[in-house]
């Protein structure tokens, strides 16, 4: 089993944060944008990242953490390279989302909110992705897939390996 450590050197984190803050602005109201940009690389927000953001924006760390933990798209826990979000809202449920979720779980060998051993995939469920006419749907990182069947969902996952 290969353990990929996604933690980076503090120095690099700080540089990334400085850059993001420069791009978005130093005001508190840019916090969400800044966190969003910083998460792109690693799929989660490390402690060092939040510390550096708090320092740059002159905010308490707990406030930054409190804000980050409010939003589903952010994670303060390590996630895999690909975050798989299976929609479980009512329209997808009607279309058989439960079967999709079961197939994805079985294929990845993880439960919801878990990450595969090789750190490739984290499985999450999500509220509506707004593509209800073509449900069931799932999202892998920023990419949305619709009209899923259990087989097709697995095929798509395989294409990410």
Partner 1 sequence: MSIHRSHILVCSGSNCTLRASVPVRMALRAAIADQGLDKEFKVIETGCFGLCQEGPIMVIYPEGIHYCGVQPDDIDEIVETHLKKGRVVNRLLYRGEAEQEVTLPSTPFYQRQHRVVLRNVGAVDPENIEESLARDGYQGLAKALDTMSPRDVVQTMLDSGLQGRGGAGFPAGRKWDFTLRASGEPKYVVCNADEGEPGTSKDRLILEGDPHAVIEGMAIAGYAVGASQGFIYIRGEYQLSLQRFRKAVEQAREYGLLGSDILGSGFSFNVEVRSGAGAYVCGEETALLNSLEGRRGEPRYKPPFPANEGLWGKPTLINNVETLANAAPILMHGAQWYRSLGSEDCPGTKVFTLSGDVANRGLIEVPMGITLREIVEDIGGGIPGGRQFKMAQIGGTSGGCIPAEHLDIPIDIPHLDDVGASLGSGALLIVDDSHCMVDLSKTFLHFFAHESCGQCTPCREGTMLMRKLVDGIAAGSGTRKDLELLERITATMRKASLCGLGQTAPTPVLTALRYFSDEYEAHIDSGRCISGACGVAVGGMKS
Partner 2 sequence: MTDNAVVTINGTEVTVPEGTTILTAAELAGVQIPTLCNHPDQMIKAVCRVCVVEVEGARVFQPACSFPVWDGMNVRTNSPAVIEARKTVVEMLLSRHPQDCLQCERNLHCELQNVSKSVGVNERPFPEETRDLPIDDSSGAVVREADKCINCRRCVEACADVQGVGVLSTVNRGYDTVVSTAFNEPLEQVSCVLCGQCIQACPTGALREHNDIDRVWRALADPNKHVVVQTAPAVRVAIGEDLGLPVGTRATKLLTSALRQLGFDGVFDTDFTADLTIMEEGSELLQRLQEGGTLPMITSCSPGWIKYIEHYYPEQLDHLSTCKSPQQMFGALAKSYYAEKNQYNPDDIYVVSIMPCTAKKFEANRPEMAAEGIRDVDAVLTTRELAQMIDQAGLDFPNLKEEEYDSPLGISTGAAVIFGATGGVMEAALRTVYELVTEQELPALDFTSVRGLDGVKEASVLLPLPNGEDSLEVKVAAAHGLASARQIMEKVKNGEADYHFVEVMSCPGGCIGGGGQPRPSTTERREKRLQAIYDEDEAMTIRKSHENPAVKALYEEYLEKPLGERRHKLLHTHYVQRSRY
**Which residues of this chain interact with partner 1, rule CB under 8 A?**
27-33, 35-36, 66-67, 70-74, 88-91, 93-95, 98, 126-135, 137, 139, 142, 144-147
The rounded distance, in Å, linking the Cα atoms of 85 and 130 is: 13
Contact by Cβ (8 Å): 45, 35: yes
Q: Which is nearer to partner 2, 15 or 155 (CB)?
A: 15
Q: Which is nearer to partner 1, 34 or 108 (CB)?
A: 34
**Smallest distance, partner 2 to C-beta of residue 32, A:** 14
The rounded distance, in Å, linking the Cα atoms of 122 and 29 is: 29
Distant-in-sequence, close-in-space partners of 21: CB < 8 Å, separation ≥ 6: 30, 34, 53, 56, 57
Give alpha helix (H) positions in 84-140. 90-94, 97-108
Q: Which does 22 bind (CB under 5 to 8 A by kind): partner 2, partner 1, none?
A: none
Residue indicated by tokens 């409190």: 66
Q: Which does 99 bind (CB under 5 to 8 A by kind): partner 1, partner 2, none?
A: none
**Smallest distance, partner 2 to C-beta of residue 44, A:** 13
**Smallest distance, partner 2 to C-beta of residue 34, A:** 16
């Amino acid at each position: 089993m290969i353990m990929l450590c996604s933690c980076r050197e503090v120095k690099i984190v700080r540089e990334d944060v400085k850059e993001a803050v420069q791009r978005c602005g130093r005001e508190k109201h840019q916090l969400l944008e800044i966190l969003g940009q910083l998460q792109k690389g690693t799929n989660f927000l490390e402690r060092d990242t939040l510390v550096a953001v708090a320092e740059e924006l002159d905010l308490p760390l707990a406030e930054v953490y409190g804000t980050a933990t409010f939003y589903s798209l952010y994670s303060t826990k390590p996630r895999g390279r690909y975050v798989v979000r299976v929609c479980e809202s009512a329209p997808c449920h009607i279309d058989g989302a439960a079967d999709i979720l079961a197939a994805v779980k079985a294929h990845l060998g993880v439960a919801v909110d878990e990450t595969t051993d090789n750190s490739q995939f984290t499985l999450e469920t999500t509220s509506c992705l707004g593509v209800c006419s073509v449900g069931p749907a799932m999202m892998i990182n920023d990419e949305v897939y619709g009209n899923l069947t259990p087989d097709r969902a697995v095929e798509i996952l395989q294409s990410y390996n």
